[in-house]
Structure 1
Amino acid sequence: MNYTLKNIPERTQKPRQYGFTMAMDKGLSIREVEDFLDISGDFIDIVKFGWATSFVTPNLKEKIKVYHDAGIPVYFGGTLFEAFVIRDQFEDYRKVLDKYDLQYAEVSDGSIELDHDKKCDYISKLSEQVTVLSEVGSKDAEKIIPPYQWIKLMQEELDAGAWKVIGEARESGNVGLFRSTGEVRSGLVQEILTKIPFEKIIWEAPQKAQQVWFIKLLGANVNLGNIAPNEVIPLETIRLGLRGDTFSHFLDLNPS
Structure 2
Amino acid sequence: MITSVLALPARQPKPRFRGITIVIDNGLPTGYFRDAVASFCDHIDLVKFGWGTSLVTAGMADKIDCLRGLGIDFLFGGTLFEKHILQGRFDDFRELCREQGCRYVEVSNGTIDLGVEEKASYVAKLADEFVVLSEVGFKDAERSERQSPSRWIAAIRTDLHAGAQMVILEARETGTSGICRPDGQLRFGLIEDILDSGVPVDRLVFETPTKTLQTHFIRRVGPDVNLGNVHAADVVGLETLRLGLRSDTLLAFE
TM-score, normalised by the number of residues in structure 1: 0.96
Residue in structure 1 matched with residue 101 of structure 2 by the alignment:
101
- The superposition leaves residues 28-75 of structure 1 with CA deviations (integer Å, 9 ceiling, x where unpaired) of 233222211222110000000001100111132232111111000000
Partner Cα distance (1:65, 1:127) in 2: 24
Residue in structure 2 matched with residue 254 of structure 1 by the alignment:
none
Q: How does 1:1-256 map to 2 (within 5 A)?
A: 1-143=1-143, 144=145, 145-194=147-196, 195-251=198-254
Partner Cα distance (1:5, 1:242) in 2: 13
Which residue identity lines up with residue 142 of structure 1 in the other structure?
A: E
Q: CA deviation at 1:137?
A: 0.1
Paired residues of 1:7 and 1:250 also in contact (CA < 8 A)? no
Paired residues of 2:34 and 2:63 also in contact (CA < 8 A)? no
Paired residues of 2:134 and 2:167 also in contact (CA < 8 A)? yes
Percent identity reads 42
Greater Cα offset, 34-43 or 157-166: 34-43
Q: Which secondary structure does the structure 2 equivalent of 1:238 belong to?
A: helix
Partner Cα distance (1:5, 1:166) in 2: 35
Stretches of 4+ aligned residues off by more than 2 angstroms:
none
Aligned residues: 251
Which residue identity lines up with residue 102 of structure 1 in the other structure?
A: C
Q: CA deviation at 1:117?
A: 1.4
Greater Cα offset, 167-176 or 242-251: 242-251
Which residue identity lines up with residue 169 of structure 2 in the other structure?
A: G
Partner Cα distance (1:25, 1:160) in 2: 28
Partner Cα distance (2:31, 2:180) in 1: 34
Paired residues of 2:244 and 2:252 also in contact (CA < 8 A)? yes
Structure 2: stretches of 5+ with no match in the other structure: none
Paired residues of 2:26 and 2:49 also in contact (CA < 8 A)? yes
Paired residues of 2:110 and 2:138 also in contact (CA < 8 A)? yes
Partner Cα distance (1:215, 1:240) in 2: 9
- The superposition leaves residues 196-241 of structure 1 with CA deviations (integer Å, 9 ceiling, x where unpaired) of 1110000001110110000000110000000000000000000000
